[in-house]
Amino acid sequence: MKTKLTVTLGLGLVAAAAWAGPVEDQIRSRQSAYGFLGWNTAKIKAQAVDHPETFDKDQVIAAANAVAAVANSGLLGLYGPGTDQGTGWKPTRLKSEYFEKPADVKEIDDSFIKEANELQKIAASGDVGAIKEQFGKVSKTCKSCHDLVRIRE
């Protein structure tokens, strides 16, 4: 029983290591995820909010799929111990308070996933007004997290 537990934990560590990697890798992976997210949210903002006359349904669907994929990718797995210090593509802006507020962070992450999944559904409808409204809800979850745990530039 003890051996089995040890083996299971051992495999868990292998999986966790593969999943997240060293501190610098975790930071770079999350900066990449947010960079990819930002490119895709910019497309939705441009085409459904700022310049609806340029709306391209297929591009917005692809961008909303990307936003949902990022939201559901297990981002919190990239916030391991010590990742409030270090450099990925650039020095992290994560506040140390992140580790003191797991419930708040989880709540925001859950909202981000929920609203991003809803945006993915609504994008498929091609209704620009509805997309704009739902995009606003997704953006609010981004801002909540930035306000809570990201150092201002």
What does the alpha-carbon distance between residue 17 and residue 80 come to, in Å, rounded to a whole number?
11
What per-residue string of b and e applies to 43-72 under the rule 16 or more CB within 10 Å gives b? bbbbbbeeeeeebeeebbbebbbbbbebbe
For residue 30, the minimal CB distance to its own copies (Å) is 9
What angle is formed at CA 83 by the lines to CA 151 and CA 115, rounded to 5 degrees?
65
Show contacts with its own copies in window 45-64 (CB under 8 A).
45-47, 50-51, 53-54, 56, 59, 62-63
Q: Quick check: 22 binds its own copies (CB under 8 A)?
A: no
For residue 9, the minimal CB distance to its own copies (Å) is 12
What does the alpha-carbon distance between residue 31 and residue 79 come to, in Å, rounded to a whole number?
11
Show contacts with its own copies in window 118-147 (CB under 8 A).
none
For residue 118, the minimal CB distance to its own copies (Å) is 16
Q: Nearer to its own copies by C-beta: 46 or 101?
A: 46
Q: Quick check: 89 binds its own copies (CB under 8 A)?
A: yes
